[in-house]
Structure 1
């Protein structure tokens, strides 16, 4: 790892470790940003769903659609908009900017790579995982 990159990563880890513990409600974030389309329970039946060209996903079936596995990193990338950039068929807004307020926490994004991630994005993904049937 290059020295400057190593220092940058170390600084982010230090900031994440020193950030005050903040209680973030994934449910509250869900109700604020997702429920209008996906419905209060995540079934894709929110009041705004009718006006969309494509039906919102049933968020209670994410794991079921993936062989019983809830892929946290993939879910967070979808919410953030990272994996949907340039997808003109997606009607879901990119929520990365809206969820970036607050401290960062380290999330294993695969193969032991710890990635600084907004705590709000993690809380929302945690809440979605709790909705799985």
Structure 2
């Protein structure tokens, strides 16, 4: 009975709680906080720190154009997350999967914390998809 009550409570929360996993507005806030200093406010690779980097930051508005008009969502997620072994900028870019996980003292063994981190990565990737030219 306790399991059924817990399951019902979970179902009620998931129905009434808005989904943030693909929220471009959340992604924009994350971009402004974590990415704009290198990639620039508009994502063109011209941030205030760009001149100090060994490898020029990518123009994130041209990802689709460089991929035959198709936004490379999975590749972008892997680069942002960084924990998968795919690193941007030859390794100079921070591993934001780790940054997001550690930022709030999250436990990498906690399913909820892992989902929150993945949601932040996906929100950021969704925002980048929205700025493609």
TM over 0.5: same fold?
Answer: yes
Partner residue, 1:54: 55
TM-score (norm 1): 0.68
The match for 2:99 is 98
CA contact (8 A) 2:57 2:89 kept: no
TM-score, length-scaled by structure 2: 0.68
Query: Equivalents in 2 of 1:122, 1:88: separation in Å?
Result: 20
Cα gap change, 1:76 to 1:50, in 2 (>3 Å)? same
Greater share of helix? 2
What residue number does 1:111 align with?
Answer: none
Contact 2:55–2:89 (CA under 8 A) maintained in structure 1: no
Structure 2: 5+ residue runs without aligned partners? 1-9, 105-112
Task: Please state how far the C-alpha of 1:104 moved relative to its aligned partner.
Answer: 2.3
Matched positions, count: 107
**Cα contact 2:64–2:132 (8 A) shared by 1:** yes
CA RMSD of aligned residues (A): 2.9
Task: Determine which structure has more spread, i.e. the larger CA radius of gyration.
Answer: 2
1:5-84, aligned counterparts within 5 Å? 18=14, 20-21=17-18, 23=20, 25-81=26-82, 82-84=84-86
In the aligned structure 1, how far is the partner of 2:89 from the partner of 2:51? 19
